[in-house]
Amino acid sequence: MAEYIVSLVLDRIATHLIDEAVSLSKVSTQVEWIEDELRRIQCFLKDADAKQDGDERIRNWIADIRDVAYDSDDVIDIYILKMAQQRKFMCFDYHPFMLGRFIARHKINRQINKVKTKIQQINYSRGTYGIENLGRGGEVTGLAVGRLREKRRSSPHDCEEDTVGLVEDIKMLEARVIHGEPRRSVISIIGMAGLEYRVKEILQYLGKTILELGKADFDTMSNEDLKELLSKFLEERRYIIVLDDIWKIEVWDDLKAAFPDPENGSRIVLTTRFKDIALHADPRSPPHELCLLSDEDSWKLLSKKVCLEWNSTRTLPPWSEELGRQIVKKCGGLPLAIVVLGGLLSRKEASYSEWLKVLQSVHWQLTQDPTLCADILALSYHDLPFYLKPCFLYLGLFPEDFEISARRLILLWVAEGFVQPRGQEPLEDVAEDYLEELIGRSMIQVAARKSNGRIKTCSIHDLLREFAMSKAKEDRFLEVIHQDVKLKSFTRGRHLSVHCRVSPALKNTSKVRSLLCFDLDEPVFREMKKFKLLRVLDLEGIHIARLDSAIGKLVHLRYLGLRGTWLKTLPSSVCYLVKLQTLDLRSTLVSPIPAVVIKLQQLRHLFFNELREIVPSPPPSRTFLPNLQTLHGLSINGTESVENVLNKLTNLRELGLCGELKLQEKALGMWILNLKGLHCLKLHARGLCPPAAAIPKLDFSSHTHLHKLHLVGLVNKTQKFPPNLTELSLKNSFLTEDPMEKLEKLPNLRVLKLKQSSYVGKEMICSSGGFPQLQILKLSFLFIVERWQIAEKAMCSLRELEIVECKRLKIVPRGLWPVSSLCSLRLGYMPADIEMKIQERQGENWYRIKHSLPF
């Protein structure tokens, strides 16, 4: 973690020296000296970070580096803050302004000298503590990591009787091993730490068990010789090899030469936590992702483990199931955690009070034996590249079992400065790759995906969250305040999260960089000046009706989340937030949009509440929000809104507009045509549309990046859709010709929603082979449609179907039933005989489908 902290501070110093050249001009030499010294220290940190768990001296040395890096960051940020404040006074009186600058420079020089002294002491102590050679090798690191992995592999829970909840997984894997194509294929199994703890280690015994070689043979053979020998032996045989716990792509690349492809159905079963390794090993073989255990299977595993440890001489008491189910609920379906607790309970007295104690201290219990759980889970963290460590630890700020919006998380990471630039690629895209990598490493779980396959929401397992909070608190990275935490234990975390109903009275918050609040029922932290170095302020859903005008003093603020608050206005001081990147005003009462928003030139993402009027036109000479990528919820009226304001926004990737759009056909069409980078577009024309001839003709055929399109009242019969569209929603289109003929030819369409009055004809026809990728279809308030004809092999990938208020639909399409992929059906306010016909034609499939009866 120290490596990341130093890297982050170095990036910020380099950025400040460019962006704040005027402010730092008088102290640039001292700042550059700090930058140079931190770069020298950084060379030692990669090895030192990995070795600190086994050496108290190294751990203390790293803590000193972390603290001096934090101090350097604070000194520069505070000086920039002072300079920004002084510039405000310059407009009124030049002489106090100059005096203030002189005092500020004097203070920063004194603080920089203190930092320089600390850095010199750190350099000296490295030699004193005998840690000069940290950068020269990885012997100790390798041994430490090896011991950790050995702990994981040697966990005493590998008896066959512990197998619970894997029946379906075993059947699927068995079929893939026995059947399938003749080529040698790799079958990968992916899961979190602790999911594959029973797999036998085969690779290390190949030479001895297959070739019957002895130790003397290995002494005289190189790795290449051994691989060649194994390959020749296996070339003439059909074989299956199991490789357990592959951590690196390089490991597979080193081993694969030993496994020839005689095209006789040979198989390699590989277990890993990393999806990229599985895909690399065999791109043609989809990885098998293990699911966490259900509540029922979790309880079965716990009860089996307890009984096995008792050697079947005792049975569980009647009350044990009630407490046992509550205990495994806290394990989140992770077998390793359940088995650890099962072993613990087997050694306890079989009494209600003893089991209750375990329930009340589950997370604490799981950290007490590092050989069983804590170190095993920590191994995944230690293996993360340094740039992912803060992103992972940051998840500890969110409440337990909280479903985190991927968009929100990505924008927070960017605002915090966690995301490293990658050429000209948008930081948000790099951050999304970070999220995918954490998921690929099984550190985060996907809760839901969007229609285009990208992540919509995610979550973190309780045990990994507990580890993240513990590790982050140790590094002074974050602090979580909730009802049970005494404020005296506040450890000066840089990122603060509040999970309680009442606002706590915090002290020493001047160096806090982030404030995220959850579940607060009263106004929060009115005195914003106490948080003078904030980069992130997220008050989503908090009951606050007024924002402190002192928020304008937070010159470092990058993210301001006010979604769902009770705000009616924004203070005019918001115009001083010159570094603000994200402003979220969704579900607030703020209206009209304040003109000060125009002054926020660094703004990248702007979310308005629906039906809010547009800001006044900016002065012609001023650039209008040049960095804006996201604009949602904006209402426009009159042609001047587009021609004088919006057409200056040329870098938008997501756009949501409502208003009298039909009056601005030419201006709107030309503007959208030029937005070639659009990924998501939502247009809502107020009121019912005029005849089709008067509807604005919006041509999307050249928008190759546009994957999500929602149109209300803006579709005509000659409409051209984006070629790579994955989600389409239509409403109030009043189409008289069957839209299915055109829509079924969209090759990537996965979600289709035809809402009220989108189609006003009587018949819809879906042809054979049409909608090849469609997974979700929702039809609602199509009052005139009477007949829906679906040919065989149409919509062959359909998984969810919803039909609401289509009361004239009398004929259920025969081609749709049965569809093996269909798993969800929802009917609302439909004729009573519709369900009977569907059930009759679906046959046995009916009981497999999760369905809702008319509601």
Q: Is the dihedral of CA 269, 206, 379, 152 positive or negative?
A: positive
Q: What is the mean pLDDT of residues 682-686?
A: 88
Above 90 in pLDDT, residue 398? Answer: yes
Neighbours of 762 (CB within 10 A): 11
Q: What is the 3 state secondary structure string of 184-231? A: CEEEEEECCCCCCCCCCCCHHHHHHHCCCCCHHHHHHCCHHHHHHHHH
| pLDDT, position 359 | 80
| pLDDT, position 485 | 60
For 443-465, write each residue's pLDDT tens digit. Answer: 888 888 887 778 999 998 887 88
pLDDT confidence band for 200 (50 / 70 / 90):
very low
Above 80 in pLDDT, residue 146? Answer: no
pLDDT confidence band for 603 (50 / 70 / 90):
very high
Q: What is the mean pLDDT of residues 239-245?
A: 82
| pLDDT, position 87 | 65
Higher model confidence: residue 524 or residue 401? Answer: 401
Above 70 in pLDDT, residue 270? Answer: yes
CA separation for the pair 846, 855 (Å, rounded) = 18
Element of type H or E holding 584: strand 582-584
CA separation for the pair 327, 788 (Å, rounded) = 51
Three-class SS state of 442:
coil
Beta carbons within 8 Å of 22's beta carbon, 6+ residues apart: none
pLDDT confidence band for 741 (50 / 70 / 90):
very high
| pLDDT, position 250 | 80
Of 311-325, 515-529, 704-718, 791-805, least confident by mean pLDDT is: 515-529
CA separation for the pair 313, 231 (Å, rounded) = 49
Above 90 in pLDDT, residue 748? Answer: yes
> In angstroms, what CA-CA distances link 781 with 489, 734, 776, 794?
57, 12, 17, 23
> Strands 850-852 and 824-828: what pairing?
parallel
Q: List the one residue out of 220, 275, 230, 290 whose CA is nearest residue 255.
A: 230
Neighbours of 123 (CB within 10 A): 12
Neighbours of 548 (CB within 10 A): 17
Residue 307, amino acid: C
Pair 188, 241: CB distance under 8 Å:
no
Helices (H), 20-93: 28-51, 56-90
| DSSP string of 604-651, one letter each residue | -EEEEEEEEEPPPPPPTTS---TT--EEEEEEE-STHHHHHTGGG---
DSSP state of 724: T
Peptide linkage before 618 cis (omega within 30 of 0): no
| pLDDT, position 736 | 92
Peptide linkage before 619 cis (omega within 30 of 0): no
For 29-61, write each residue's pLDDT tens digit. Answer: 877 888 888 887 777 776 666 566 667 777 788
For 275-289, write each residue's pLDDT tens digit. Answer: 888 889 998 888 888
> Strands 824-828 and 800-804: what pairing?
parallel
CA separation for the pair 579, 238 (Å, rounded) = 63
| pLDDT, position 140 | 38
Pair 77, 111: CB distance under 8 Å:
no
Q: List the one residue out of 558, 592, 559, 554 whose CA is nearest residue 573.
A: 554
Residue 158, amino acid: D
| pLDDT, position 80 | 81
| pLDDT, position 819 | 60
Backbone angles phi, psi at 699, to 5 degrees: -100, 115
| pLDDT, position 844 | 59
pLDDT confidence band for 429 (50 / 70 / 90):
very high
For 71-121, write each residue's pLDDT tens digit. Answer: 888 888 888 887 777 766 555 454 555 566 667 677 777 888 888 888 888
Element of type H or E holding 14: helix 2-19
Of 589-598, 700-709, 782-791, least confident by mean pLDDT is: 589-598
Higher model confidence: residue 644 or residue 602? Answer: 602
Beta carbons within 8 Å of 215's beta carbon, 6+ residues apart: none
| pLDDT, position 248 | 77
| pLDDT, position 197 | 36
Higher model confidence: residue 626 or residue 411? Answer: 411
Element of type H or E holding 325: helix 320-329
Q: Which residues pair with 435 in a beta bridge?
A: none
| pLDDT, position 6 | 81
Above 50 in pLDDT, residue 232? Answer: yes
